Amino acid sequence: MSDHPITVTVNGVEYERQVEARKLLIHFVRDDLDLTGSHIGCDTGNCGACSMIVNGTLVKSCMMLAVQADGATVETVEGLADGEELTPLQKSFSEHHALQCGYCTPGMLMSATALLRENPSPSEDEIKKALQGNLCRCTGYWNIFEAVKAVAR
Amino acid sequence: MLLREVEYAKPASVADALGVLAQNDGARALAGGQTLINVMKARAASPDVLVDLNGLDELKGIELAGDGTLTIGAMTTYTELMASAEAKARPILGEVVSTIADVQVRNRGTIGGNVCASDPTNHLPPLMAAIGARFTIAGANGEREVGADEFFLGVYMTAVGVGELLTKITIPAGKHDGFAAVTLGVDGTCIANAAASLDGSLRIALGCVDAVPVVLEPASADEAAVREAVRGAALDPPSDVHATAEYRTHLAEVLAVRAARQAQER
């Protein structure tokens, strides 16, 4: 089985790597690039902890092959903050205590970031629908919704 | 590694894709991957070659003809369908796909992948059967077009054979459509579903109760006639952890009535 050369820009940094076709994007980002902010919660496409923004589109990176990201621009949770300066959404998560164990947080942030880019003034129902693909097993959804609502214009 | 070793091909055209698919019995088309990649993780499917259809513009896009006929490329995502002004010509399409899974899945999952999976719990097989969709299948010998009755052959089986691809779905004009489902959680997997379309006469397609959609043509659109048609179908659905056969049969009747009512009210 041959490796495939890919060039992927992740959080503004271009990486050239060889990948096996069977490698999932989440494993490429975590294991090959050592960007471990994106989590693996379920391996089955249900939990959304691995959510990333690929070419501007929110995806679950466990349901995409790394080789499919060749030429793509990928955004992960590590790319949100500007150095130590958190985004308003990240600050809001902190202020609203929108996490308990924190495992789902990277995915929640990416989904909420994608929502707010597309729709800066989401209704409560739109926020809930946008975060439908992200499970919080602490069941702490209430504060997550509050955090997103607080930065919605 | 979750997936077994697999080769990967990214063809530049539908013709190239057909060539790769024809060369290898173990080659499978990779559409949105929202089903196939998970099935591969579970090793319930282990293709030798994945033929990635992403990037084939020939398989994308939604066209609305003057007579109201919609032609939807097989690689059109649910999100693209929801956003399409053309697709609003048949409003039920956007409404139903907006209830499939979640944003991430809708961003990658495709209408062609959904129907080609022919999963009895999917939303689109009964919907396509009810609204009279036609499926264009391309192969080495050109294209052919089949209706839903010929397209859905069984669980995970369709008329798309080895070396072939579904390229587009053609949907006639219409708007008196309905869809109802009982799901596992909001926008979850269907336990039972029903689609209805009224165009002179009423056509109902039931999902989750057999390997392929069960199409019924009640004598009229009246509730009593719909109930009678479902009872007369002698359904024998599977039982599972979510619903017994008896409960699924009950749901099929209730959902058929709801879908028919929605179709009538438009």
Q: Give the domain B1-173 fold.
A: 3.30.465
Mean pLDDT calculated for residue range A48-77:
98
d(C-alpha B133, C-alpha B174), whole Å: 11
pLDDT of residue A2: 76
**Beta bridge mates, B170:** B71, B134
Chain B residues with beta carbon closer than 8 angstroms to that of A115: 103
Domain B177-265 CATH superfamily: CO dehydrogenase flavoprotein, C-terminal domain (3.30.390.50)
CA angle, B248 then B254 then B260, to 5° = 130
Chain B residues with beta carbon closer than 8 angstroms to that of A4: 8
| pLDDT digits 0-9 by tens, B29-48 | 999 999 999 999 999 999 99
Helix (H) or strand (E) holding B125: helix B124-130
CA dihedral (B97, B98, B101, B104) in degrees, to 10, reads 110
pLDDT < 50 regions, chain B: none
Q: Are A1 and B1 in contact (CB < 8 Å)? A: no
d(C-alpha B119, C-alpha A144), whole Å: 34
Q: Are B8 and A4 in contact (CB < 8 Å)? A: yes
Residues of chain B with CATH 3.30.465.10: 1-173
d(C-alpha A145, C-alpha A149), whole Å: 6
d(C-alpha B188, C-alpha B154), whole Å: 22
Note which residues in 76-105 of chain A have CB less than 8 A from chain B: none
Q: Are A43 and B2 in contact (CB < 8 Å)? A: yes
Biggest CA–CA distance in chain B, Å, is 55
Residues of chain B with CATH 3.30.390.50: 177-265
Biggest CA–CA distance in chain A, Å, is 50
Q: Min CA distance, B192 vs chain A (Å)? A: 21
Interface test with A, best of B52, B103, B105, B110 (most A CBs within 10 A): B103
What are the C-alpha distances in Å from B120 to residues B98, B188, B189?
Answer: 19, 14, 10
Based on its alpha-carbon atoms, the radius of gyration of chain A, rounded to whole angstroms, reads: 15
Please give the distance of CA B28 from its chain centroid, rounded to a whole number.
18
Mean pLDDT calculated for residue range A13-23:
98
d(C-alpha B243, C-alpha B63), whole Å: 39
pLDDT of residue A153: 84
**Taking a C-beta distance cutoff of 8 angstroms, is the pair A103, A50 a contact?**
no
Q: Mean pLDDT for chain A?
A: 97
Mean pLDDT calculated for residue range A129-148:
96
d(C-alpha A20, C-alpha A23), whole Å: 6
Looking at chain A, the number of H-run helices and the number of E-run strands are 5, 5
Interior/surface letters B182-191, b for 16+ CB within 10 angstroms, e for the rest: bbeeebbbbb
Mean pLDDT calculated for residue range A55-76:
98
pLDDT of residue A25: 98
d(C-alpha B74, C-alpha B53), whole Å: 10
Q: And the tokens for B48?
A: 């030798």
| pLDDT digits 0-9 by tens, A67-112 | 999 999 999 999 999 999 999 999 999 999 999 999 999 999 999 9
Q: Min CA distance, A106 vs chain B (Å)? A: 14
Does residue B107 sit at the A interface (CB-CB below 8 Å)?
A: yes
CA dihedral (B216, B221, B225, B227) in degrees, to 10, reads 70
Domains and CATH numbers, chain A: 3-79 (3.10.20.30), 88-151 (1.10.150.120)
Note which residues in 60-99 of chain B have CB less than 8 A from chain A: 79
Q: And the tokens for B47?
A: 């293709």
Cβ-based neighbours of B241, under 8 Å, separated by 6 or more? none
Given a cut of 90, is residue A1 above it in pLDDT?
no
d(C-alpha B88, C-alpha B140), whole Å: 34
| pLDDT digits 0-9 by tens, B155-177 | 999 999 999 999 999 999 999 99
Which of B194, B171, B172, B165 has its CA nearest to residue B182?
B194
Q: Are B1 and A22 in contact (CB < 8 Å)? A: yes
User: What is the DSSP secondary structure assignment for residue B100, as one 8-state letter?
Assistant: S
Q: Are B104 and A59 in contact (CB < 8 Å)? A: yes
At A65, the pLDDT band (50, 70, 90 cuts) reads very high
Which of A49, A47, A23, A48 has its CA nearest to residue A36?
A49
Q: And the tokens for A65?
A: 């092959």
Mean pLDDT calculated for residue range A30-39:
98
d(C-alpha B222, C-alpha B200), whole Å: 13
Q: Are B101 and A133 in contact (CB < 8 Å)? A: yes
